[in-house]
C-alpha cells in the first residue's frame, strides 16, 4: 500500500516551489496564502523536515525540496494526464485531428469520407494548420506532422516520405512553347508558395534551389505568381496558370487523375523529412485513436502499392 501525504499539501508545496512565492501559489490554486502556508506545513510535518528557507522576505528551497520537486511535478502531471484519459474514454467525444493545410486539402480530406463510411459513430474535428499542437495538454488526439519522427514523449508512426517535383496542368503542354527540358521553363510562369513545410536542412525547397540542383542557369527563379499558402499554389497549377514545385504525396491524387502531370524525369528532390502520425503516449489506447491509426495505416498501404 502506498503511504502518501494529503494531495492538497503536495499541490501547495509544488506550486509554491515553482513560484518561490506563497502569494503566487495561492493565486494559481485559488486559495489564500495562509491556506497554502498551512498545507505546506502539513507536508513538512508529514516528512519531518523543512522544505523552505526564509531569507529577507524571500523563500528558498532546501536541498531536500530541490531534489523532490521535479519528481512531484512529474507525478502531478501524470496524475492530471490520467484523469484526462479517463474523461477521454467518453465514446461520444469526437476524434480531433490536426494536419498541414495542403496535405489536409489534397490527400486527407478526400479519404475521410471513407473513414466516416466505415465508422459513422465517430465524429471528426479537423484542424488544418502548420502550427505544432501540444498533443499532451491540448484537446487534440492526433497530428500528422512533417519531420524526422523524433518527438519527445509522443508516439510516431511513419507514413510516407516525399520528394519535390515540378508539375503543371496537361493543357499547359499544348501551348505554343515546348516544355521538354528544364531550360524551357524560361518561357513559362513559375508558381511560388511563401509559406511551406517542405524543408531540407532548414532550407525551403524553392525554384532557386531546384534550378541549382538540376544545373539550370540564367532563369529568374523569383519570376511568376506568389501565394501565401501551398493550397493556392496547387490550385493555380491545376488551373493552368503556371508550373509549380510540389510534394509528390500532396498531389498524388491529381497526378493519378490526370489533373496534373509531372513534367520532367530525374529532377525530383527527396526530402529529409517524412509524414508521421503522432499522438500522446497517454492517449495511445483510446479506441478512437486506435481505430483512426489502423485505418490510416491501411490507407497508406494502398498508396504504397500504387
Q: What is the mean pLDDT of residues 143-162?
A: 90
pLDDT (tens digit per residue) in 271-290 = 888 899 999 988 888 889 99
Q: What is the mean pLDDT of residues 142-146?
A: 92
The helix (H) or strand (E) run that includes residue 20 is none
Q: How far apart are alpha carbons 95 and 89 in whole angstroms?
A: 11
**How many Cβ atoms sit within 10 Å of the Cβ of residue 278?**
21
Average pLDDT over residues 56-76: 86
Angle of helix 109-118 versus helix 287-305 axis, rounded to 10: 120
Lowest mean pLDDT, pick from 39-43, 122-126, 210-214, 301-305? 301-305
DSSP 96-164: EEEE-HHHIIIIIHHHHHHHHHH-TT--EEEEE-SS---TTTSS--EEEEEE-S--TTEEEEEEEEEEE
What is the rounded CA–CA span in Å between residue 234 and residue 247? Answer: 10
Mean pLDDT of 285-300: 92
Domains annotated for the chain, with CATH where assigned, are 7-88 (1.10.10.10), 95-160+273-305 (3.40.190.10), 161-271 (3.40.190.10)
Is pLDDT of 221 > 70? yes
Cα dihedral 176, 180, 183, 189, rounded to 10, equals 50
Q: Residue range 199-213: average pLDDT? A: 71
pTM attached to this predicted model: 0.69
Phi then psi for residue 277, to 5 deg, are -90, 125
| DSSP SS3 for 239 | coil
Judged against a pLDDT cut of 90, whether residue 17 lies above it is answered with no
Query: Is the Cβ–Cβ distance between 230 and 130 less than 8 Å?
Result: no
pLDDT band at 156 (very low <50, low <70, confident <90, very high): very high
**Would you say 53 and 59 are in contact if contact means Cβ atoms under 8 Å apart?**
yes
For 169-242, list the strands marked E by DSSP. Answer: 190-193, 199-200, 203-204, 225-227
Q: Are 264 and 178 in contact (CB under 8 A)?
A: no
* Grid cell for residue 70: 521535479
The grid coordinates of residue 99 equal: 494536419
For cell 498541414, what's the residue? 100
Three cell numbers, residue 122: 465517430
Strands 199-200 vs 203-204: parallel, antiparallel or unpaired: antiparallel
d(CA 270, CA 19): 47
Amino acid at each position: 500500500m502506498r503511504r502518501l501525504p494529503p494531495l492538497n499539501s503536495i499541490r501547495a508545496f509544488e506550486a509554491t516551489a515553482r513560484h518561490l512565492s506563497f502569494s503566487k501559489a495561492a493565486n494559481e490554486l485559488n486559495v489564500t496564502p495562509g491556506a497554502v502556508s498551512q498545507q505546506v506545513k502539513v507536508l513538512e510535518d508529514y516528512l519531518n523536515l523543512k522544505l523552505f528557507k526564509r531569507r529577507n522576505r524571500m523563500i528558498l528551497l532546501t536541498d531536500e525540496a530541490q531534489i523532490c520537486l521535479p519528481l512531484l511535478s512529474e507525478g502531478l502531471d501524470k496524475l492530471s494526464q490520467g484523469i484526462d484519459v479517463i474523461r477521454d474514454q467518453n465514446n461520444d467525444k469526437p476524434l480531433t485531428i490536426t494536419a498541414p493545410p495542403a496535405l489536409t486539402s489534397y490527400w486527407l480530406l478526400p479519404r475521410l469520407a471513407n473513414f466516416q463510411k466505415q465508422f459513422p459513430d465517430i465524429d471528426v474535428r479537423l484542424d488544418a494548420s502548420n502550427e505544432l499542437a501540444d498533443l499532451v495538454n491540448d484537446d487534440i488526439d492526433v497530428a500528422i506532422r512533417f519531420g524526422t519522427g523524433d518527438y519527445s514523449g509522443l508516439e510516431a508512426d511513419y507514413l510516407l516520405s516525399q520528394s519535390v517535383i515540378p508539375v503543371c496542368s496537361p493543357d499547359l503542354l499544348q501551348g505554343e512553347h515546348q516544355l521538354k527540358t528544364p531550360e524551357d521553363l524560361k518561357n513559362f510562369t513559375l508558381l511560388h508558395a511563401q509559406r511551406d513545410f517542405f524543408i531540407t536542412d532548414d532550407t525551403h525547397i524553392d525554384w532557386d534551389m531546384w534550378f541549382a540542383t538540376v544545373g539550370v542557369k540564367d532563369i529568374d527563379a523569383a519570376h511568376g505568381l506568389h501565394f501565401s499558402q501551398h493550397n493556392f499554389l496547387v490550385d493555380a497549377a491545376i488551373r493552368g496558370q503556371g508550373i509549380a514545385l510540389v510534394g509528390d504525396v500532396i498531389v498524388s491524387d491529381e497526378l493519378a487523375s490526370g489533373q496534373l502531370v509531372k513534367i520532367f524525369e530525374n529532377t525530383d528532390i527527396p526530402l529529409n523529412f517524412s509524414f508521421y502520425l503522432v499522438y500522446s503516449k497517454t492517449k495511445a489506447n483510446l479506441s478512437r485513436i486506435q481505430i483512426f491509426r489502423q485505418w490510416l495505416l491501411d490507407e497508406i498501404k494502398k498508396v504504397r502499392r500504387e
